[in-house]
Structures are given as structure tokens and as C-alpha cells.
Amino acid sequence: MSQRPVDLKPGHTRWRLPRPAWRRPADEPPRLVLRFALQAAIVIAIGAAIILFFVRDWASNRAEESVRFHASFVADTILRDNLRPSDFEHVAPDRHEQLDKLFESEVLTNGAVRVNLFTPGGRVTYSSDHDLIGGVETEEIDEVLEGENATEIGNLNEDGGEGRNLKVLETYVAVRPNAGAEPMGVFELYQDYAPVAAAARDAFMPIATVLAGVLITLYLALIPLLNRVTKRLRRQMGEIQHQAFHDGLTELPNRALFLDRVEQALKLASRSRQSVAVMLIDLDRFKEINDTLGHQSGDGLLKALGLRIRTQLRGSDTIARLGGDEFGILALGADPGGAVALAETLRAAIAEPIFVADLELQVDASIGIAVFPDHGADCETLIRYADMAMYLSKKTHQPELYSAEHDHYSPERLTLMGDLRRALTGEELVVYYQPQATLATAEVCSVEALVRWQHPSRGLIPPDQFIPLAEHTGLIRPLTRHVLNQALRQCRLWLDSGMRIGMAVNISGRDLIDINLPDEVAELLERWDVEPSLLELEITENTILTDPIRARAVLTRLSEIGVSLAIDDFGSGHSSLGYLKRLPVDVLKIDRSFVMGMGKDENDAIIVRSTIDLGHNLGLRVVAEGVEDAASWDKLIELRCDTAQGYHLGRPVPAAELERQLVARRVDPQTA
């Protein structure tokens, strides 16, 4: 269902988000009282039915047992004294009259409605209903003669006879002339079942009534208890749900709820064609506050900043604590410009002084921003892009909007990284060489080795597209070793052909803090039999600052080997001159941006002049990069710069091409 926008203030629109999935009615705590009451009623009813069935069965059996006892009593008393063995063989007519009187006066009373006498073979020799005489029954007779009780419920006239067809209880009893003797025959008594059922009912009803009362009382007693338990469970479930989707310290939404709201906002924005901004805020130097003042002060700072940030947001926006010192912001309807403006407002609010543990603190924040649909269409992508922008913000000290040029982890770059791993083991990486000439003599004294990637499908890839990728992974170390190996191999070839040319190779920050680098360099110099003085390793100012202590130790060992060391791109970094003078460097290379601009910008010319003087005063050889024309070449000669490098002298080319250029220019390199 689409949501109608609600005007909040001019230029802003608030959108009502659907209820999060975890708060929808289908997932709310169940009505336990109703459910349990229904289930308990069913269980109790089934249990009561089973119990009542057994009680009724017991009452019926008891009543039937009473009838069987009566029949046995009649057989053992009245019949034993008054019947003859011949009565179970053949009964004469005059004997019929005697038996009729006997049974009518002594037996057919109190609900007894018929009697039969059977021979051991099952033939009826006498019946109070004369029509049944001569009939045969064998199954029940055999059971009785074997010592079992035979009783069944049926209809009076089921096997024939006259009169009302009552429901009766038929009982078969063996008749013996005396105790322990063999049966003379079998006596069958038909008892009206109505009195039997009434007797069973009279025994059953009191028990059933008491049982029903007990169960109903128990059932009713459980309902208030269950009601209290349900309320407590509902409250606890609400607390658990709140804890599951809110941060326990700040009471702000947590990562799970934040992601849910971003998903909901993206669905809504996609239908309404609105923009959505996702921001990640990371507090700078928060660990320092935690370590100095303790975690309790750090927690207090997080709670206070959470409240402060919330006051800067609209009611439709969301702030969440994602973990540690990281917060997430969801701003509905914010385009890139509006998101940056909001981020600057939030950063200014965070930077205002705050009192924690009676101390006034000031905290800065790094903020990364990604906007739908400009940067991504799904939650995962926006979060990832905002995270990348946040890390860039840590360097620029201002809110940063995601930019693809700073994304070192795009699918294309990941594919390129896999290709680079393969290239290191093949022949795709080639080394080009750019000449460096002594300004005083215009003679090529050395070259700088620059790696290029001849990709099988993408063609020649410039270094600015894969060197940063290698620096962000562990590939820079094998890449540096590969270039060093190729450069020293070429240096050996030139030496063998009579050309003594120095070789400059760039090394990265990871190379410089690797204590094994000096050993690797020494091993390669020995492998190709190249003098250490012919090798120059170039490092940037920022590279040294990665780990100054370890960098200085590695540089010292390289210097002891005899390798020359150069500070590359001098003037573009943040190195300290005081620290620079303590490093064992031999060469200072002026950044190309100053050299290329010195003919047009007096400030650049002053910087170049000052750098040349500084280098000479420190006893260093000075190399000017970016020499593009003859005017720059002449100006550098005037400033007494030592060496020049740039397109005026030559572009980076393969070794064979460089050799042809040197011959064409008729510039003879120094020979051994």
C-alpha cells in the first residue's frame, strides 16, 4: 500500500513507513489464555470422557456381576434341590407343569423374565416359553461346561419365543447335583436389562458428578493463574523484542532494526520515486576517551551524543547505534545535496563541547553518505558504499558522499585483483624505463623502472589502476619484488653491453616496513651481479610516516648495503624536515606539480628553488620530475638542479625502445 506524504516543513517531506515485520500483528504475543483455555478444555473433556467411560463400564460390570451371582445362587440352591438329572435329558408333560410352578414361584421374580434348561449337548429340554423347547445352542453351553462364565446382552426373542422383545441380560450357569460333581446340564436366566442399567446408572452418576465438579473447578481455577502468566509473558516478550531491536545502552534502534527500516524505506521510495540517504557516523578518537576516562565515561558520551543527534533529525528519520562508536542515519527524501547538508549539521552538533564525568570533551566525527537511487538500489550496497565514504571522511575530515573512484572493492576491481595474482606468475607485467639525465651534461645517467600491465583482454593497463589495488592487498610485496628482479636483470644486460646506467625503483609503504626487504634486495643484487650503488630505491614522504621507527631501521640497513635512497614527490606530503635530516637518504626528487607550474606560477618557482637549495644544503642530489619543455630544462640548469626527468627527455618505454632513442638522440650513456 502506498503512503501519502505529509508536509513537515518547506522543502522537506516525511513519509510514514510501514510497521516493521517484527511488529506486525501476526507475530505479536499469542493470546495464551484463550488458546490454553481451549486446549485445556479439549484435553479435560477427553480425559473426563475416558474416565467416565471406565467408571460407567465398572458400574455396568458391577450390576451384571450381581445378576450372575443371583443366577449362580439360584443354580446352587433352588435348582440343586428341586431338579432331577432327567430334567436335563427329557421332560415329560406332567413334569413341565411342575417346573413351570417352580420357576414362576422361585425364579421368575425381580426382573427375571425367562429360564431355559439345556442338556450338556446344548439342546433345550425345558423353557418357561414352551415354544423354545427342542432348540439347540452350543457355543455358550461349551464355555460354561469348561468352567467359564457366559453372559451376553441381547433381545429376549432374538432366538425365538413370544411376548415383549425386551433388552435382557442372558446368564448361563452349570447345574451340579452337588458341589464338585459333574454338571447335569446348564441353566439360562434372562434378566430384564432395565433394572441392571438403572443400578449401573445409580452407581455411576454420583461418581460422574463429583468428577465433573472437580475438573470444572480445576479448570476455572487455572484461568486467573494463566491470565497473570500470560500478562507477564506478554510483557517479557515485549521486553525481549525491544531488546532484540534496540541498543541496550542508548535505547536507540540497533543494526537489525536499522536495516529493516532501510529496507522498508527503499521499497516505499522505489514506488514513490523519492530519494533516501543512508549515513554512517564514526566517532574519532573515541578509543582514546575510553582508555583515558574508562568505559563508564565512554558509555555516557555515547548516550549523550545519541540524544544530541536525534534532536537534529526529523520525526521521519531514524538514528541507530550500529555498534561500538558507530551510528547509522536514515534520512527519507534526502537527495545528495540535502544529505551532505544534513551531515554537516550533524557533524557540527557532535563537535559542540559536551560534559562527561565533569570534564568538557569535544568529539569529531567521520560521516559517509550513500543515496538511493544515485548510488545503489538495495540496503547492502548503500551500507557498504556509506562505509567506504566514511573511511574517506576520516582522511578529509569532512562528510563525504560515495564516489566510485574511491571504491577499491567494486566487482570489477575484485576481478582485476584476481587477474593481477595470475599476472604475477606469468609474463603480463612488463617494465618500462624513463630516462633521467644530468642537467649539466645532458647525459642519461639513470632510468626509473615503471611497471605496466599488458592485460590479455583489457590491453595496456596504467599503474594508477592496479598499483592502489595491490597496495590495499598483500600483492604489493610480490609486485615490488617482480619489478626489482626485472629491473636488475635489465641493468645486468646493459652492463654486459657496455652501458652503465643507474636503476631507480619505487617501493611502497608495505615494502618499507618489511624487515626482510634489505635481505631481498641484497639477494637480487647478488643474483644479477649488480653493484648496489647502481640501484636507487624511491620512497614517498607519506610512505615513511606509515611506521617511522621501522621505516628508519629498514632504510638504514639498505643504506649500509650501498643502495641509494630517494625521497620521491617531495613537497606533496607531510614529512618533517627535522625527521628528514635523520634519514639516510641520498636523493631528493621534486614533485612534478611544482616543476610543471614554475614557468607560470611564481610560487611554484620559489618552491622549486627553495627545494633545490634545501637538498644541496643537506648534501643530497636533487632530481626534478615533470620536465616537459626546454624552458623548464634551462630554468633548472639556472637553479643548479642536478638531474631532470620528464617527457622533454623521454617517455617511459620498453628497454629496446629506450636504447633506440638514445642512439637516435646520439646521447652516449656513460660506460663502465
How do residues 551-568 score in pLDDT, each as one tens digit?
889 999 999 999 999 998
The highest-confidence range among 86-95, 129-138, 628-637, by mean pLDDT, is: 628-637
Is residue 2 assigned to a domain? Answer: no
- Beta strand 502-506 pairing with 443-455: parallel
**85: CB partners within 8 A, 6+ apart:** 177, 184
Instruction: Please give the grid coordinates belonging to residue 297.
Output: 565515561
- Give the number of other Cβ atoms within 10 Å of residue 672's Cβ: 9
Last residue of a domain, one of 352, 379, 407: 407
Cα Rg, the chain, nearest whole Å: 54
Last residue of a domain, one of 407, 425, 448: 407
Distance CA 211, CA 556 (A): 98
Is the pLDDT score of 63 beyond 80? no
Q: For residue 136, give the CATH number of its domain.
A: 3.30.450.20
Q: Are residues 395 and 420 in the same domain?
A: no
Distance CA 34, CA 408 (A): 58
Task: Give 31's DSSP letter.
Answer: -
Distance CA 672, CA 496 (A): 10
Q: For residue 435, give the CATH number of its domain.
A: 3.20.20.450
Q: Are residues 389 and 462 in the same domain?
A: no
Q: For residue 322, give the CATH number of its domain.
A: 3.30.70.270
Is residue 98 assigned to a domain? Answer: yes
Per-residue confidence band for 281, with pLDDT thresholds at 50, 70 and 90: very high
pLDDT at site 6: 33
Distance CA 237, CA 225 (A): 18
Indicate the SS3 state at residue 28.
Answer: coil
Is the pLDDT score of 242 beyond 80? no
Indicate the SS3 state at residue 536.
Answer: strand
Per-residue confidence band for 204, with pLDDT thresholds at 50, 70 and 90: low
pLDDT at site 278: 95
pLDDT at site 666: 56
Instruction: Kindly report the pTM of this predicted structure.
Output: 0.51
Distance CA 9, CA 37 (A): 52
pLDDT at site 25: 44
Lowest mean pLDDT among 11-15, 44-48, 325-329: 11-15
Q: What does residue 164 show for φ and ψ, rounded to 5 degrees?
A: -65, 140
pLDDT at site 671: 35
Q: Shortest CA distance to 585 belongs to which of 609, 613, 558, 611?
A: 558
Is residue 577 assigned to a domain? Answer: yes
pLDDT at site 7: 37
Task: Give 253's DSSP letter.
Answer: B
Greater pLDDT, 577 or 401: 401
Task: Give 78's DSSP letter.
Answer: I
pLDDT at site 17: 55
Distance CA 641, CA 622 (A): 6
Is the pLDDT score of 58 beyond 80? no
Q: Are residues 70 and 145 in the same domain?
A: yes
Distance CA 59, CA 423 (A): 95
How do residues 370-401 score in pLDDT, each as one tens digit?
999 999 899 999 999 999 899 888 888 899 99
Amino acid at 114: R
How do residues 400-440 score in pLDDT, each as one tens digit?
999 877 766 666 677 777 888 888 887 889 999 999 999 99
Is the pLDDT score of 667 beyond 60? no
Is residue 184 assigned to a domain? Answer: yes
Greater pLDDT, 255 or 232: 255
Distance CA 168, CA 448 (A): 122
Instruction: Please give the grid coordinates belonging to residue 274.
Output: 523519492
Q: Are residues 599 and 570 in the same domain?
A: yes
Q: What does the H/E/C string look like for 392-444?
A: HHHHHCCCEECCHHHCCCCHHHHHHHHHHHHHHHCCCEEEEEEEEEECCCCEE
pLDDT at site 5: 34
Distance CA 643, CA 144 (A): 133
Q: Grid coordinates 449401573 are at which residue?
A: 200
How do residues 291-306 score in pLDDT, each as one tens digit?
778 888 888 888 899 9
Indicate the SS3 state at residue 122.
Answer: coil
Q: Are residues 144 and 127 in the same domain?
A: yes
Greater pLDDT, 355 or 344: 344
Is the pLDDT score of 368 beyond 90? yes
Contact status, residue 447 vs residue 435, Cβ threshold 8 Å: yes
Is the pLDDT score of 603 beyond 50? yes
Lowest mean pLDDT among 218-232, 415-429, 606-620: 218-232
Q: Are residues 377 and 508 in the same domain?
A: no
Q: What percent of the chain has pLDDT over 70?
A: 89
Q: Are residues 332 and 422 in the same domain?
A: no
Is the pLDDT score of 544 beyond 50? yes
Contact status, residue 307 vs residue 389, Cβ threshold 8 Å: no
pLDDT at site 233: 74
Q: Are residues 596 and 643 in the same domain?
A: yes
Q: What does residue 378 show for φ and ψ, rounded to 5 degrees?
A: -135, 160
Question: What's the average model confidence in pLDDT over 281-287?
Answer: 87
Contact status, residue 316 vs residue 332, Cβ threshold 8 Å: yes
Is the pLDDT score of 575 beyond 60? no
Distance CA 7, CA 28 (A): 32
Strand partners, 361: 354
Is the pLDDT score of 656 beyond 80? yes
Domains contained in the chain, number = 3
The answer to whether the bond into 373 is cis (omega within 30° of 0) is: yes
Last residue of a domain, one of 175, 209, 243: 243
* Residue 175 belongs to domain spanning: 29-243
pLDDT at site 644: 96
Is the pLDDT score of 249 beyond 70? yes
Is the pLDDT score of 27 beyond 60? no
Greater pLDDT, 176 or 230: 176
Task: Give 315's DSSP letter.
Answer: T
Contact status, residue 514 vs residue 554, Cβ threshold 8 Å: yes
Residues in the chain: 672
Per-residue confidence band for 573, with pLDDT thresholds at 50, 70 and 90: low
CA dihedral sign of residues 367, 371, 376, 379: positive
- Give the number of other Cβ atoms within 10 Å of residue 218's Cβ: 11
pLDDT at site 530: 96
CA dihedral sign of residues 145, 148, 149, 155: negative
pLDDT at site 203: 66
Is the pLDDT score of 287 beyond 50? yes
Question: What's the average model confidence in pLDDT over 1-28?
Answer: 43
Instruction: Please give the grid coordinates belonging to residue 535.
Output: 640501484
Q: Grid coordinates 600483492 are at which residue?
A: 475
Q: Shortest CA distance to 6 belongs to which of 147, 466, 15?
A: 15
Instruction: Please give the grid coordinates belonging to residue 202.
Output: 445409580
Q: Are residues 377 and 503 in the same domain?
A: no
Instruction: Please give the grid coordinates belonging to residue 160.
Output: 425365538
The highest-confidence range among 39-53, 188-202, 439-453, 579-593, by mean pLDDT, is: 439-453
Q: Are residues 396 and 443 in the same domain?
A: no
Is residue 439 assigned to a domain? Answer: yes
pLDDT at site 67: 77
Is residue 12 assigned to a domain? Answer: no
Q: What percent of the chain has pLDDT over 90?
A: 36
Q: Grid coordinates 623502472 are at which residue?
A: 449
**21: CB partners within 8 A, 6+ apart:** 27, 260
Indicate the SS3 state at residue 654.
Answer: coil
Distance CA 319, CA 311 (A): 10
Is residue 21 assigned to a domain? Answer: no
Q: Are residues 512 and 605 in the same domain?
A: yes
Is residue 5 assigned to a domain? Answer: no
Q: Grid coordinates 543512508 are at which residue?
A: 278
pLDDT at site 28: 46
Q: Are residues 561 and 622 in the same domain?
A: yes
pLDDT at site 262: 94
